[in-house]
Structure 1
Amino acid sequence: MKQNDKKLFVLDTNVLLHEPLAIYSFKEHDVIVPMTVLEELDTIKDRKRDVSRDARVAIRALEDILGGSITPEQIVSGVPLPVRPGRTDASGTLSIFPDHQLEFDSHSLPDDNNDNRIINSAYYLQQQYQPRQVVLVTKDINMRLKAKGAGIERVEDYRTDQLIDDIRFLAKGFYEVEGDFWQHVDDVTSERQGRHTVHQVPREHFGNEPFYINQYLIDQDTEFCGRISAKSESSIDIVDRGRDRLENYEAWGVKPKNVYQGMALDALLDPDIELVILTGPAGCGKTLLAMAAALELVVERKRYDKVIVTRNTPEIAESIGFLPGTEEEKMAPWLAAITDTLEVLHKNDVNPTGSVNYIMEKANIQFKSINFMRGRSIQNSVVILDECQNLTASQIKTLITRMGEGSKLICSGNLAQIDSTYLTAVTSGLTYIVERFKDFEGSANVYLNGVVRSRLAEFAEEHL
């Protein structure tokens, strides 16, 4: 590739906070980090938040490349990126741009904040390196608008970890056939496998639909419901579940109120599925089903030893150290949805409060902070990760990699209720794992369509 064909990517601070190793994501093109970005990373690295860890990782990644015997002249002109496992296509250079030494002209933005300095740097580089294409990369929407207004020709969002462009295309975990399922199928081979009937159906009947392992199939007119157990280029194997059977499942006294809850409960109670992802609007039953299935599996079926419930604590009060008591007592305010669910499950008991306390002890229910999950290995447990739409992909990866032998992870969340200022529905860790795990034979994903909490909640979800 000729030098003029290689682009110059100028990175904003938020790109390195979002993905600390983003410098390896631009293939054969060159990467420039303005000095102002280093100064911002330096102020962030000591904060008592998760973002400070990302800042430190980014700083160490830069030091690994630019440290040692590298001269100041080489740092400014560009140092070749080293070969890194999994990033072998990164063959450009990395350089630090000394923007604090520049004197900008009257056409530049006021030099009164860091965003403006980075924009001015990108504009200066655009003028210096013509005809090479200079691209400013930032996740700040307002900064992208300002940069375009300041005359920078190419401004982009950092999207390498964004698997879909529109949340409407997110896998829902089921495929709904119009009309009668059997009217679409004229060539099927069925056989009995243990307690289940398996249908082998040609894929040509469903067009170009990209089916996934453990994806459910339902229709509109009949009681058909199946789950894909295997697939090939020409056919798919469907385990016949039967809508009646799904809607009559029961876990800890809870029965599904619709076929979507039935599919969720089918996946939750299946010991061969180690990861269940439940998405859907507020009031669709995600937490209730997860908790009921966990109690059923631990107390009644004795397949697991305990239930661990965790979620992130919002950044506005991320540290739980200011609350009194033990770790579990500190986590109680954040996990009130779980205790509310336990009260609902036992509201008809003679002594509901005593029943809840007894079950928490019997099922060995533990409330844990996600901040302390790193380094653990969780064995023979049902782990419920609630409200995970507020987690990044790396945070969810941290928890998933904690799962040891004989453990089941249940992730639930609503992409319409993201509280983090750094995430959107398409960049949420919940979206990321739905897309990454949709074809993994040990996972299932179900979008719980429909609000069952109350007609008030249903109206609010549809009209507010």
Structure 2
Amino acid sequence: MQTDEKKMYVLDTNVLLHEPLAFLSFEEHDVIIPMTVLEELDHIKDRKKDVSRDARVAIRSLEGILHNATPEQMIDGVALPSTSVDTRAQNGKLIIVNDHLFAEEISGLPGNENDHRIINSAVHLQNQHPDVKVVLVTKDINMRLKAKGAGLKFVEDYRTDQLIDDISLLSSGYKKFSGDFWQTVGQCKSDQDGRELHHTVTKDLIGEVFINEYLIDETGHFAARVESFTDTDVTLLDLGHERLMSRMAWGVRPKNIYQAMAMNALLDTHMDLVILTGPAGCGKTLLALACALELVIEQGIYDKVIVTRNTPEIAESIGYLPGTEEEKMAPWLAAITDSLEVLHKSDQNPVSSRNYIMEKANIQFKSVNFMRGRSIQNAIVILDESQNLTAAQLKTIITRCGEGTKLICSGNLAQIDSNYLTPVTSGLTYLVERFKNFEGSATVNLNGVVRSRLAAFAEENL
């Protein structure tokens, strides 16, 4: 957003709910907050929903800048705090405008709609300041369409927190080479360290890599993981395609190389964070649960399994369900109990086996809302359906993980239910990109539906 042209950015309410400090991201440009936005924040802050916290943070942050301002200064604008290291940079201003006083600039749109009042204020400023670029910033796609239809020249999504421009650029966690990998590499330095075999190859042959990225080839004979790299060389841990495919956890074997790579990361106790992405039916939840039971019950490395997920309108609807917190969470965590039954379907009584394993592995169902303030020690945390969480919500959960805790995040970016999130702005996407270079994390995109041919056809054609 750094240009010589001075701009005015009119912020919609959903931008401040998505990122409460968003008004600090526009550097030397002026930020306009219509009175209608403050009214909407005021109504939202007392709701019994997670979004109310974001509304309160936004209100407190605005008050922190405007608390000493006079009414005249509020209209003229209060200088925004500098976020630039350049001391010569001129800061923009934060301006509160009373859009209720603006004449109706848009004919044909009802004036009592909040969205229309915000659009009207942007159009009014555009007419009032023809020499300034006035931009309406909103996460609402339909509002962007209506604003353009109303004559507003510049409408944008809030993209400051986007690390990629297109979901196709999101890292899959592995790199697949055409043909035979060793035919491409030729000679390389290899070292045996106990049972582990390491290869050091020239970086030019592989290209850009990140730590713990998996490497496979089309022949189905090569599989490795990036251990370390420099500007010139890459050190690979040889995993072996056949060894990967022969791994087993709680009676489950991988059905394809993608599941095998995921299982390798899940069973590796040095991996504090494992991110599993992929379409419905690719085995994310089943693999996470099988590996968690293997590590907790069979190997005894962790003490318990905590399963949590984002639950739409959980704060309002959970109270009306009977029973304990675990019983209240059961409708949203049916995928976990279904997976447990699948893992024990050959038992004489799968339901009894499921209940026994839930008690033996100390599996606890928790709401995301109640994760804040906790410190989880020596446990495996499975965060299911994480594509519906924002980056801030994911940070809240990750920072709860104490010593000896392993976090497994799974999600399908094609199944986002939130009104304010898209695949590129989802917290899951943010997590994948931010943790690419963290030595204690691994990402695997489970490319391929293994649920059934019906599910595979539906994923591709519906």
TM over 0.5: yes
1:36/1:108 CA distance change after superposition, 3 Å: farther
Distance (whole Å) between structure 1 residues aligned to residue 110 and residue 283 of structure 2: 52
- Compute the displacement of 1:111 (Å): 2.1
- Compute the displacement of 1:129 (Å): 2.5
Kindly indicate whether the alpha-carbon contact (under 8 Å) linking 2:105 and 2:124 is maintained by their aligned counterparts in 1. no
SS in 2 for 1:399: helix
> Superposed, which structure 2 residues align to 1:236-255 within 5 Å?
236-255=234-253
Distance (whole Å) between structure 1 residues aligned to residue 86 and residue 333 of structure 2: 39
What residue is the counterpart of 2:35 in the other structure?
A: 35
Kindly indicate whether the alpha-carbon contact (under 8 Å) linking 2:204 and 2:232 is maintained by their aligned counterparts in 1. yes
- Measured on the aligned residues, the alpha-carbon RMSD in Å equals 2.1
Kindly indicate whether the alpha-carbon contact (under 8 Å) linking 1:187 and 1:202 is maintained by their aligned counterparts in 2. no
Q: Which segment is superposed worse, 239-248 or 344-353? A: 344-353
Percent identity of the aligned residues? 67
SS in 1 for 2:421: coil
- Compute the displacement of 1:3 (Å): 12
1:87/1:227 CA distance change after superposition, 3 Å: farther
1:24/1:408 CA distance change after superposition, 3 Å: same
What is the TM-score with the length of structure 1 in the denominator?
Answer: 0.95
- Compute the displacement of 1:434 (Å): 0.9
- Compute the displacement of 1:392 (Å): 1.2
- Compute the displacement of 1:352 (Å): 2.4
What residue is the counterpart of 1:124 in the other structure?
A: 124
What residue is the counterpart of 1:59 in the other structure?
A: 59
> Superposed, which structure 2 residues align to 1:312-331 within 5 Å?
312-315=310-313, 319-331=317-329
Aligned residues between the structures: 460
- Compute the displacement of 1:431 (Å): 1.1
Q: Which segment is superposed worse, 435-444 or 346-355? A: 346-355
Kindly indicate whether the alpha-carbon contact (under 8 Å) linking 1:218 and 1:225 is maintained by their aligned counterparts in 2. yes
Kindly indicate whether the alpha-carbon contact (under 8 Å) linking 2:48 and 2:315 is maintained by their aligned counterparts in 1. no
- Compute the displacement of 1:366 (Å): 0.6
1:331/1:109 CA distance change after superposition, 3 Å: closer
1:85/1:57 CA distance change after superposition, 3 Å: farther
Distance (whole Å) between structure 2 residues aligned to residue 431 and residue 39 of structure 1: 31
- Compute the displacement of 1:412 (Å): 0.6
- Compute the displacement of 1:437 (Å): 0.9
What residue is the counterpart of 2:368 in the other structure?
A: 370
What residue is the counterpart of 1:307 in the other structure?
A: 305
- Which sections of structure 1, spanning at least 5 residues, go unmatched? none
Match of 1:224 among 216, 222, 225: 222
- Compute the displacement of 1:131 (Å): 1.4
> Superposed, which structure 2 residues align to 1:3-18 within 5 Å?
5-18=5-18
What residue is the counterpart of 1:451 in the other structure?
A: 449
Distance (whole Å) between structure 2 residues aligned to residue 436 and residue 178 of structure 1: 28
Match of 2:287 among 279, 286, 289: 289
CA distances 1:227-276 after superposition (whole Å, capped 9, x unpaired)? 00101111111100001000000111111111111100000000100000
Distance (whole Å) between structure 2 residues aligned to residue 355 and residue 153 of structure 1: 62
Kindly indicate whether the alpha-carbon contact (under 8 Å) linking 1:173 and 1:446 is maintained by their aligned counterparts in 2. yes
Distance (whole Å) between structure 2 residues aligned to residue 119 and residue 178 of structure 1: 51
Distance (whole Å) between structure 2 residues aligned to residue 236 and residue 318 of structure 1: 51
1:105/1:93 CA distance change after superposition, 3 Å: closer
Match status 1:70 vs 2:69: yes
Residue 203 of structure 1 aligns with an amino acid whose one-letter code is K
What residue is the counterpart of 2:388 in the other structure?
A: 390
> Superposed, which structure 2 residues align to 1:41-440 within 5 Å?
41-67=41-67, 69-83=68-82, 91-104=91-104, 109-206=109-206, 209-315=207-313, 319-440=317-438
- Compute the displacement of 1:187 (Å): 4.0
- Compute the displacement of 1:306 (Å): 0.4
Distance (whole Å) between structure 2 residues aligned to residue 260 and residue 425 of structure 1: 21
Kindly indicate whether the alpha-carbon contact (under 8 Å) linking 2:381 and 2:408 is maintained by their aligned counterparts in 1. yes
Kindly indicate whether the alpha-carbon contact (under 8 Å) linking 2:102 and 2:124 is maintained by their aligned counterparts in 1. no
Distance (whole Å) between structure 1 residues aligned to residue 266 and residue 86 of structure 2: 36
SS in 1 for 2:185: coil
Residue 74 of structure 2 aligns with an amino acid whose one-letter code is I
1:38/1:222 CA distance change after superposition, 3 Å: closer
Distance (whole Å) between structure 2 residues aligned to residue 118 and residue 262 of structure 1: 51
SS in 1 for 2:436: coil
